[in-house]
Structure 1
């Protein structure tokens, strides 16, 4: 099967490289010039695992305007705030037969993809796997090979033959995919997870393990999870996990799977890049207000992240 990765950052590299190593034809497209030029210069991307065994993996990388390939499946991993312009630059390559798979953080990307792809061609999900982009053309896969899981669902909630073929390739690449028929519940599970771990670790500049070691971590997590679930219940969304299962997921990933990991929001903040907080905590706030519920804690944290961003910019 042929895959093309749109957005060759930490997660884009991880999915693309592992799908390639599982025997698929994979190409990469990115808009970040230092990244594209570095890959073209060195003939691939340097891949480490847990900061060790760094090796050069040959890959094919393109700018949007230079890409002429026709993949079976697009794998989309751009930042929420960049996606609309990226898709516009790529639209000449899209056709009605192609599928698109995305496991981006936050919410808002599906609506943008629907402008270019039929609903029955869209598969979206969440990936509980940690990856760090060290710099242009240099990525670090956190966790042992086969560690981590992912949930995914068809937008129509009706899996077809192609969906099962994609899931099979993801399984061969050891992403441990779990195909569901609950689209919104699947996506919101990761949004709620990120609204706790990503946001709090970013604000206090700590790893997931450091957060979990705080005696009051469960109380903080429960407050955010309960508020998020109150929002989703009012919106009529059937969540994939119970509230307790969501808390258990936060604790397992933070203490066992990736205790040394700094979440992606922290990585953006530490490099003075805009964060995706408006698409995570901020999304829950907007969804709650739509149903006359004020997610006050999530609103407060959204403001705190923007205050931290503002303060860092003032010091530059």
Structure 2
């Protein structure tokens, strides 16, 4: 029997994943979002406008709701909420959760699993990461970055034991053209993307550049490896085995920036440019704080985190 999905946090990535599932996997998808302009605009339009690399803009029918009005009973929830907004969003959505449902995450950073554990059976939680670029131009208008099939996703069950439903979800994501990879290394899967974002998201945000512009810099490898090496030092002390070696992590940064998404502005930049607070505390800050637990000072990550907060604070002087 086909699974029914509901995307919670229907911004850029939430819309992309849900639309790919309903268009290519042929499954039923609802969307829930806490940002009122997104909900009202999509309802008024009769769907979301979708482009690919700025071209071919067209309207895709989307069923979207606020948390308070949603009454659906999906089999699987897909979470793409911002880390700092997730706790409030879960409270607003709690009335339509039940103990049989699965929760799949594709969120940036760390801190969300502990929140999801309060609402879902840990045996039904699948942590995921996405190397897929997407931009929300404005409410109800999303741009898929990269050719069809570009990018990939990694997933792992929190209990590290895939079941039949997990494999059915992966099959739907495969049909959705998202190139999912299922592992049995939960922490290592999530942390690999945190390390990636700790390089790309923060540096591109601070200098207001695309990923391709970063990788064009002759010192990009040196900058990247300083952050990667610190993060791997932290993970080794915490007993976390990442999916890739240090060199492979750098090669991933290099390939995605140069080949897959060179024109992409990372999500942290999108937040900064629109006056929203960033998720840096859940990325570089998380790496630094984890290191402190094991008497390791990931000082470059702390320095980068504070630079991003300085940039956030500086906005008040531009008004």
Q: What is the TM-score of this pair, normalised by structure 1?
A: 0.99
Mapping of residues 98-247 of structure 1, within 5 Å: 98-247=101-250
| Residues 231-270 of structure 1: pairs in structure 2 closer than 5 A | 231-270=234-273
Q: Can you list the C-alpha shifts for 1:223-248, whole angstroms capped at 9, x where unaligned? A: 00000000000000011100000000
Deviation at 1:74, TM superposition (A): 0.2
Say which SS state the counterpart of residue 66 (structure 1) adopts. Answer: coil
Alpha-carbon separation, structure 1, partners of 2:317 and 2:158 = 42
Q: Is contact 1:7-1:29 (8 Å) kept?
A: yes
Structure 2 unaligned spans of 5+: none
What's the CA shift string for 1:148-182, capped at 9, x where partnerless? 11100000000000000000000000110000000
Q: C-alpha distance in 2, partners of 1:284/1:50? A: 32
Q: 2:76 maps to which residue?
A: 73
Distance 1:229 1:55 in 2: 43
The answer for the alignment partner of 1:4 in structure 2 is: 6
Would you say the 8 A contact 1:2–1:71 is kept in 2? yes
Please report how far the alpha carbon of residue 308 of structure 1 lies from its aligned counterpart in structure 2 after TM superposition: 0.2
| Deviating 4+ runs (over 3 angstroms) | none
Deviations 1:43-63 (A, max 9, x none): 100000010000100010101
Unmatched tracts of structure 1, length 5 or more: none
Displacement of 1:313 in angstroms is 2.3
Find 1:47's aligned residue among 41, 45, 50.
50
Question: In 1, Cα distance between the equivalents of 2:77 and 2:318?
Answer: 39
Alpha-carbon distance, 1:314 to partner: 2.6
**CA distance in 2: counterparts of 1:151 and 1:63, whole angstroms:** 29
In the TM superposition, what whole-angstrom CA distance separates every residue of 1:275-306 from its partner, at most 9, and x where no partner exists?
Answer: 00000000000000000000000000000000
Root mean square deviation, CA, Å: 0.5
Deviation of residue 80 (structure 1)? Answer: 0.3
Partner residue, 2:94 = 91
Match of 2:64 in 1: 61
CA distance in 1, matches of 2:316, 2:191: 31
C-alpha contact (below 8 Å) 1:272/1:313 kept by paired residues: no
Q: Distance in 1 between matches of 2:209 and 2:318?
A: 21
* DSSP-derived class of the 2:205 partner: helix
Q: CA deviation at 1:315?
A: 1.7
Q: Offset at 1:7?
A: 0.5
